[in-house]
Amino acid sequence: MLAVHFDCPGGPENLYVKEVPKPHPGEGEVLVKVAASALNRADLLQRRGKYPPPKGASEILGLEAAGTVAGFGGGCKGRWQVGDTVMALLSGGGYAQYVTVPEGHLMPVPADMTFAQAAAIPEAWLTAFQLLHFVVKIQEGETVLIHAGASGVGVAAIQLVRLAKAIPIVTAGTQEKLEATANLGAAAGFNYKTEDFSEKVLAFTQGSGVDIILDCVAASYWEKNLNCLKTDGRWILYGLLSGGEVHGDFLARLFAKRGSIHTSQLRSREKEARHERPGNNGGNSVFFWQYKERLVGAFTRTVLPHLCTGASPRLRPLVHSIYPLHRIAEAHAAMEENRNTGKI
């Protein structure tokens, strides 16, 4: 099969398409013929040699894809049939003609959705859903500050916050991106390049601050984030775009607000997570649960119906641009230059 490859870490120009062995589905896995994949910041980091794939994952870039079921490994439970249209949450391998996926990490593609739109959903929307519902447990009426509001995760988070009957506000770097986020439901938006977003957030919330911050920027935002975080607020870090080194009285100021800080990475979650609980005869009983499968299942039940025609409210992925695979270097350059509003 054909897949995107790079011989050594570096810039987008290092990417090219080559022939590689087609993967074979293992136990409980489905083979998917890929029609479309989508870019994520993690892909750029991996290309630079700064974010290796988890143990056992494909070294091919690509954390989400959409296509058709092409085959099965042993032990599959019959959830899917050959020819079914699916979208997949991946640990790697999406920039290729075929990819293998645990069957519980697949979701059906809504009937009226293109493969390009479907490929824009799994990583970005499941990340946002996980942050809001599995990590900080958003509540109705809360105010959520979403950094990088025009990114794939940001576009999803705005709509998911609205679905939870909470209030999304965003930061972005251009007026065009702020207008796009307003059209998606953002109650307010601030240009981080020209405005002090913490002052604007405090003015918007009449001095109270926000309940939740979704932050992929990190170091350069810490003071402003703390300025506008409500007492007892939750701040979740899911990226380090500006680095992870903080100087100053960060902990003292977080402590003074009784704030809580959470960190989360979706890609590195193992397919199985080991937990212990008290057994009937003393001691602990070990049990396993599938984190990503549980996440995909919850999203499929509660959010996917709203991505279908006729749903109320109707949610939608936002596709900025579509490239053929042989122009993957151009696509990566576009993301590095922050040209996109929504997914590439």
Query: Over the range 303-334, which residues count as b (16 or more CB within 10 Å of their CB) and which as e?
Result: bbebbeeeeeeebbbbbbbbeebeebbebbbb
Tens of pLDDT, residues 150-185: 999 999 999 999 999 999 999 999 999 999 999 999
Q: What is the mean pLDDT of residues 105-129?
A: 96
Question: In this structure, is residue 269 part of a structural domain?
Answer: no
CATH classification of the domain holding 157: 3.40.50.720
What are φ and ψ of residue 16, in 5° steps?
A: -155, 165
- C-alpha to C-alpha distance for 318 and 205, rounded to whole angstroms: 28
What are φ and ψ of residue 149, in 5° steps?
A: -65, -20
Last-in-domain residue among 263, 293, 310? 263
Query: Do 239 and 178 belong to one domain?
Result: yes
Question: In this structure, is residue 161 part of a structural domain?
Answer: yes
pLDDT at 281 over 60: no
CATH classification of the domain holding 116: 3.90.180.10
123 close to 152: Cβ distance less than 8 angstroms: yes
Question: In this structure, is residue 47 part of a structural domain?
Answer: yes
User: Which range is least confidently modeled, 42-46, 70-74, 256-260?
Assistant: 256-260
pLDDT at 22 over 50: yes
Q: What is the mean pLDDT of the chain?
A: 91
Q: Element (H or E) spanning 230, and its range?
A: strand 229-237
- Quote the percentage of the chain above a pLDDT of 90: 77
State yes or no: cis peptide before 278, omega within 30 of 0. Answer: no
Query: Do 201 and 325 belong to one domain?
Result: no
Query: Do 132 and 58 belong to one domain?
Result: no
Give 139 or 279, the one with higher predicted confidence.
139
Query: Do 131 and 250 belong to one domain?
Result: yes
pLDDT of residue 271: 52
124 close to 148: Cβ distance less than 8 angstroms: no
Range of the structural domain that residue 172 is part of? 124-263
Query: Do 43 and 149 belong to one domain?
Result: no
Question: In this structure, is residue 288 part of a structural domain?
Answer: no
User: Which range is least confidently modeled, 185-194, 260-269, 276-285?
Assistant: 276-285
What domain count does the chain have? 2
pLDDT of residue 49: 95
Query: Do 137 and 7 belong to one domain?
Result: no
pLDDT of residue 61: 98
Question: In this structure, is residue 277 part of a structural domain?
Answer: no
**Per-residue pLDDT band at 276 (split at 50, 70, 90):** very low
Query: Do 138 and 95 belong to one domain?
Result: no
Question: In this structure, is residue 237 part of a structural domain?
Answer: yes
Q: Helix, strand, or coil here: 121?
A: coil
Query: Do 234 and 192 belong to one domain?
Result: yes
Question: In this structure, is residue 42 part of a structural domain?
Answer: yes
Q: Element (H or E) spanning 300, and its range?
A: helix 291-302
Q: Residue 282 is encoded by which pair of tokens?
A: 């003393």
- C-alpha to C-alpha distance for 158 and 284, rounded to whole angstroms: 41
Query: Do 132 and 249 belong to one domain?
Result: yes
**Per-residue pLDDT band at 218 (split at 50, 70, 90):** confident
Question: In this structure, is residue 308 part of a structural domain?
Answer: no
Query: Do 142 and 230 belong to one domain?
Result: yes
Residue type, 199: E
Query: Do 167 and 60 belong to one domain?
Result: no
pLDDT of residue 245: 77
Last-in-domain residue among 238, 263, 288? 263
Tens of pLDDT, residues 283-323: 443 333 488 899 999 999 999 999 998 899 999 999 999 99
State the residue for tokens 């100053």.
248
Q: Give bridge partners of residue 289 from the DSSP assignment.
A: 273
Query: Do 16 and 110 belong to one domain?
Result: yes
Of 200, 140, 148, which is closest to residue 166 (Cα–Cα)? 140
Last-in-domain residue among 217, 236, 263? 263
DSSP conformational letter for 55: T
